[in-house]
Structure 1
Amino acid sequence: MIFIPIILLVLVAVWLISTYNGFVVLKERTNNAWSQVEIQLKRRYDLIPNLVNTVKGYATHERGTFEKITQARTAAMGAQSITDLSIAENQLSGTLKTLFAVAENYPELKADSNFKELQQELSNTESKIAFSRQFYNDTVQKYNVKVKVFPNSILAGMFNFYQLEYFNLEDEKEARKSIKVEF
């Protein structure tokens, strides 16, 4: 009879420790996943000026497009939250699509090996960003589920483990719109 309360106390202690450690592990995985997203975004930001300079050599009268790309890149690099970053990345993606549309009008540019290489690097980076974003969002989903389920939610609140934001680059309405290119 004396052992039953002791066994229950040990079981509760084991549950508390394992649940807390589970939160810590998932939180660290999420931090790591976000770090990988940031690495790929930085790589993208580093490629953009080279791409713009290459296109500038061929399309000097497209100044407005270059300025929009520079502004969008600056906004994305300065974003303070995941939501702000999502918005800024949407704008940056749109301006890059415009840049590639401009490049279509210059056959010499499309044939330029430096432009082709930069375009391929950016394409590869976009794929890596998509993969990193998906991994981050999957990790956030696992973490958020653990934070929300009962009785974990009680422990999560006690130790300040709160839900995290997903990183979405396009909202549904924007993704369905066609791209409008103006010259």
Structure 2
Amino acid sequence: MNLAIFFYILLAVTITLLVIGVLIYNSLVDIKHTVSQAWSNIDVLLKQRHDELPKLVETCRQYMRYEQETLSRVMEARTRIASARETGNLPALGAAENVLRAGLGQLYAVSEAYPELRSSEKFQHLQTRITGLENGIADRREYYNEAAKNNNIRIEQFPDILIARWFGFGARSLLEFSDTDKRDPDLNTLFS
């Protein structure tokens, strides 16, 4: 009789551990896909902005004869972002994003010296569109970082760490910003 009770207790403990393991595994899968979805949301906006930037640069090029360096910087940053996005290199993407934001800030500041450009309906539309995309990217970046943080915490907590290691769930990189990106812009350098 004692052997039967021991067997039922062992069976109950085994089933309980199995159910807990399945629940943890399913939760980790959910978090992994949340991070992937968050990245996909950013990627869509990055692609849209990637398509809009040449139109903005071409519109500006028609009016800005002496600002080719600024336009080239924006296009170079666009290329670096596309490359980092395609390879999934988040540190390189963050660095290229910083360069692009600085270039766009300078481009918008320099455009003030060209009244014809500022009054161009096409320029205004593109500037509004790109600014909207930038805001969307910033919002989705926050969501992505939150999802990546939740993933990273879960795969380090006990007992989740056991399931995570066993099934190969890994940490996700955060989209980091440089210190210069976090500071207020220096308006003197933008308008010089």
TM range (shorter): over 0.9
Q: In structure 1, what residue type is equivalent to 2:142?
A: Q
Does 2:149 match 1:141?
yes
Residue 158 of structure 2 aligns to a residue whose secondary structure is coil
Q: Distance in 2 between matches of 1:4 and 1:76?
A: 58
Aligned residue number for residue 151 of structure 1: 159
Q: In structure 2, what residue type is equivalent to 1:161?
A: F
Instruction: Give unmatched runs, 5+ long, in structure 1.
Output: none
- Going from structure 1 to structure 2, the CA distance change for 1:114 and 1:173 (only over 3 Å counts) comes to closer
Q: In structure 2, what residue type is equivalent to 1:176?
A: R
Question: Does the CA contact (< 8 Å) of 2:109 and 2:191 recur in 1?
Answer: no
- Offset of 1:136 from its aligned partner? 1.1
- Offset of 1:119 from its aligned partner? 0.7
Q: Distance in 2 between matches of 1:136 and 1:174?
A: 18
- Offset of 1:21 from its aligned partner? 1.2
Moved over 4 A (4+): none
- Offset of 1:173 from its aligned partner? 4.1
Aligned residue number for residue 42 of structure 2: 37
1:68-121 per-position Cα deviation (integer Å, ceiling 9, x unaligned): 111111111101311111111111111111110111111121111111111110
- Offset of 1:66 from its aligned partner? 1.2
Counterpart of 1:171 (choices 175, 178, 185) is 178
1:111-170 per-position Cα deviation (integer Å, ceiling 9, x unaligned): 1111111111011111111111111111112211111111111221111111101113x2
TM-score, length of structure 2 as denominator length: 0.89
**Number of residue pairs matched?**
182
Aligned residue number for residue 9 of structure 1: 14
